[in-house]
Structure 1
Amino acid sequence: MELIETKIDEMKDDIIKSTQELIRIKSVEEEAKPGMPFGEGVNKALEYVLELSGKLGFETKNVDGYAGHAQYGEGNEIVGVLVHLDVVPEGKGWTYPPYGGEIHDGRIYGRGAIDNKGPAIAALYALKALKEAGIETKRRIRIIFGTDEESGWEGIKYYFKKEETPLCGFSPDAEYPIINSEKGIIIFKMRKEFNAESEKGITIDYIKGGTRANVVPDYCEAGLIADDSSRDGIETGFRAFVEKTGYKMELMPEGQNGFIIKSYGISAHGSLPEKGKNAICQLIMFLNTLNTIKGDASDFISFLAENIGMEFYGQSLGVGLRDEISGKLILNVGVIDFDKKQGTVEINIRYPIKYTCDDVMNRIRERTSEAGIEVIDISDNPPLYVSEDNFLVQKLKKVYEEVTGRKAELISIGGGTYARAIKNAVAFGPLFPGKPELAHEKDENIEIDDLILNAKIYAKALYELACNI
């Protein structure tokens, strides 16, 4: 294994350069085009890694633009490393360009640096190290490049309809030591149609905020139209609300009778809403204090304020569920879109492994049906759980402890990784204990030393799973 680590050290500059080049591709999902099911940026990222894989000496395959792989070795069975190339939108407030791949203070900055482009490159060069060391495999190894992990998983689902399923594998898309439990993930929308007749008092012209259900929104904006009797109440109420809560918000006059309200939050991963500040929920809580808003829109706002508010765990919505393995249910309000005719809110829930989607949604429907709110567009990604005595977990525990000298404890997360796309798979890195979680946040970055250490851990893991069997 010393030879493999030496090979990785020799490739350090190439690993850094390849990570920078991949970060510079803005691979946010866009409108589909022929041969590009998730848009040009995602397709460009897929083509980049497949071309790089070919240059590194691996067999490659592009599966109709939905996904691809790089393969090395011999054997009837496959060990898979499941990574993704798409990223969430960059958001605002970056210190360095979000698609610059710039290096500052030993860190590579950019959207996808740690989620998941840096780890994808680390895994690819780990495989290169095995090849350069002349190690023969007893199982084939595939680095599988997914393309829409952040928005629906259609790419990886399509891939496994066309390609072999690995015997086992891991996804370098979470944290160390080993993630053997991942909560189930539900994304759904609440929608309510509004009475078109105008009301005296305050009318909501629009509310817009958020980018994805699985991202804590850092900005939300509302347009209000007020009659003469309500204008002063908005301004007075706003000042009192901001003074009481400390939320970062702005109130701006717009024309003769209008106001624009801007709410500023802090972005975070939707599985860790407590690490951010939800700009949508802040705005909803303020609007709910304006008792001169009338009609269906007001009723929907009141429902959201009273049943979700600023909570993270769904208790007021009737879904404050938990179990002893994976902990509490987690809820994030990710996107809002109101106009004068209807309002829609997109919500991301991470539910404990001992429950089902129906357990959660039946409770929510009990609340929404009473309020005349529809629940639509439900998607469910069931939980993952791999027991400690599984051969894969035992191998990875051995690797982590030997390379880092730390005990390999098993942990549960609310995030969802490609590990749940196959059996006998877990999330393994790239975030080391004690390091800040920067996925989906501004100034996302990866330490270069950690990037190289990840490559060494993955190389040893692949050796144990594909060669030393």
Structure 2
Amino acid sequence: MKAIRADFKALFEQYEAEFLADLKAVLRVPSVRGVKTYQAPFGIGPKRALETVLSIATRMGFRTGQVGDCVGWAEYGPDESQAPTYFGILGHLDVVDVENDWHYPPFDLTQVDNFLYGRGVLDNKGPLLSTLFALYLIKTQKITFKHRVRIIFGTDEESGSQDIPVYLQQEAAPYAGFTPDCKFPAVYGERGLLDVQLSLPITDGSERQITAIDGPFAKSYLPDHARLLLADGTVKTYQGKKAPSNAPEMADNVLPKLVADASQLTGQTGQFYQWLNAKIGNQSTGENLGINFEDAASGALQLAFYGLSIESQQLSCHLTCRYPISVTEEQLLAGIEAALLPGMTVTVKRRYPSQVTDPQLPFIQQLSAIYAADAGLDGTPVTTTGVTYARALPNIIAFGPSFPGQKGIAHKGDEWLQFSDWQMMMQIYYDSLLVVGTQD
């Protein structure tokens, strides 16, 4: 990666301590979604994070606003009467919860050499604040914008993006923009996502062979531990390695190990786990299910086996499929249904169709060129396995923050961001917003 230009580096260093202090203040807010309460539709934590960031933006001298107690904004440039449309940057302040897999305080900023640690430092508080700081560096130089630029702070991205419809009830969508919540270079396409529960009714009573199956079964990552309790008193425990659900190949998923043991049981219960063992097992591309789709733009389908559940007279498994942009949900469901045991059912828990934007649009080409010049890397627009705010707000794409080769960092312990990368992304966003705001 090329060195940061000396002029930006010198400018950044003037405010480095201030920026780190502001990042620390925001990371210290445990903004996990909580119970709806007065003036906090997604809980106290996300609302406190929003208020903290808006306080920083106000101190910096930006125009600010808040919509529905769940979305805030800060903007620079001409006001709405002079510039009815705006370029938008949308990120989120809510974070996923933490587990006992941290070596650093999760709700704080810890700097060790070139690494910054803390929940949200990458996903997405650190990158979102880097766009605010980049805009502030422009403002400190008294550079006049011809176009309005607005940074939008959401608080519910991790739990379904229910905040953005609230925002759009009151505010117009941007004419173009980006979310700093994915990867570089510019991301023109997001794969489809289908989250399904596959269930088998048990009519022979054989589910009573199992007392319980428990573990951290959440859709955002593959579990690193689990436990199988059998009715005969046997207790089996499993240890592995956690990874985000959009990087299943990086996990040592414990569920296939549990399934292999449970497949030794008898009756319909044994048949269900035998089917899971054969059709899914350790696979992450879905070949034994017959859904191993792929295309040149997206690569291979990703299958994330993230959960098991047992209820009275029903056994279920939980899967997330991230499928190529050329594939439809109907094709995917047809493939799954063709592979099921007699009597099994499919329940769709979440669905996001593929999102594709023309990579030749001028603003995408501009962002791509700026990234290539600043980072010294290939700027050709790409696709992603992620689900971002680009699906929730019209006219935006994902752009940053992770650089090529960085994967599987978010949603687990010791979430990190390299300080030099934070500085580099701020440079890229600085140059991007400078072009957006001043161009004819």
After TM superposition, the score normalised by the length of structure 1 is 0.85
Q: Map 1:336-415; keep pairs closer than 5 Å.
A: 336-368=308-340, 370-415=341-386
Aligned partner of 2:234 in structure 1 is 259
Q: Using a 3 Å threshold, how does the CA distance of structure 1 residues 317 and 210 change in structure 2: closer, same or farther?
A: farther
Aligned partner of 1:154 in structure 2 is 162
One-letter code aligned to 1:30: G
Aligned partner of 2:225 in structure 1 is 219
One-letter code aligned to 1:262: T
Q: Using a 3 Å threshold, how does the CA distance of structure 1 residues 266 and 164 change in structure 2: closer, same or farther?
A: same
**Deviation of the 1:133 alpha carbon:** 1.6
Gaps of 5+ in 1: 227-257
Out of 386, 396, 418, the position equivalent to 2:389 is 418
**Deviation of the 1:340 alpha carbon:** 4.5
After superposing the two structures, state which structure 1 stretch, 263-272 or 25-34, moved more: 25-34
One-letter code aligned to 2:144: E
Equivalent-residue separation in structure 2 for 1:346 and 1:162 (angstroms):
37
Aligned partner of 1:277 in structure 2 is 252
Aligned partner of 1:233 in structure 2 is none
Matched, 1:303 2:307: no
Cα shift readout 1:72-105 (whole Å, capped 9, x = no counterpart) = 2222221111111122232333222222321112
Aligned partner of 2:67 in structure 1 is 63
Equivalent-residue separation in structure 2 for 1:219 and 1:342 (angstroms):
23
Matched, 1:141 2:149: yes
Task: Give the SS at the match of 1:11.
Answer: helix
Equivalent-residue separation in structure 2 for 1:342 and 1:31 (angstroms):
30
After superposing the two structures, state which structure 1 stretch, 84-93 or 125-134, moved more: 84-93
One-letter code aligned to 2:240: G
For the 8 Å contact 2:188–2:383, the answer to whether it is kept is yes
For the 8 Å contact 1:100–1:110, the answer to whether it is kept is yes
For the 8 Å contact 1:124–1:143, the answer to whether it is kept is yes
Equivalent-residue separation in structure 1 for 2:427 and 2:311 (angstroms):
52
Equivalent-residue separation in structure 2 for 1:319 and 1:122 (angstroms):
39
Q: Using a 3 Å threshold, how does the CA distance of structure 1 residues 466 and 212 change in structure 2: closer, same or farther?
A: farther
For the 8 Å contact 2:194–2:348, the answer to whether it is kept is no
Aligned partner of 2:135 in structure 1 is 127
Equivalent-residue separation in structure 2 for 1:435 and 1:130 (angstroms):
28
Out of 402, 409, 416, the position equivalent to 1:445 is 416
The alignment of Structure 1 onto Structure 2 pairs a total of residues equal to 432
For the 8 Å contact 1:29–1:86, the answer to whether it is kept is yes
After TM superposition, the score normalised by the length of structure 2 is 0.91
Percentage of pairs with the same residue: 31
One-letter code aligned to 1:39: G
Equivalent-residue separation in structure 2 for 1:2 and 1:372 (angstroms):
66
One-letter code aligned to 1:432: F
Cα shift readout 1:298-355 (whole Å, capped 9, x = no counterpart) = 3332232222111101121221111121111111122322244433433211111012
Q: Using a 3 Å threshold, how does the CA distance of structure 1 residues 198 and 366 change in structure 2: closer, same or farther?
A: closer
Gaps of 5+ in 2: none
Aligned partner of 1:204 in structure 2 is 210
For the 8 Å contact 2:161–2:392, the answer to whether it is kept is no
One-letter code aligned to 1:136: T
After superposing the two structures, state which structure 1 stretch, 72-81 or 186-195, moved more: 186-195
What is the root-mean-square deviation in Å for CA atoms of aligned residues?
A: 2.3
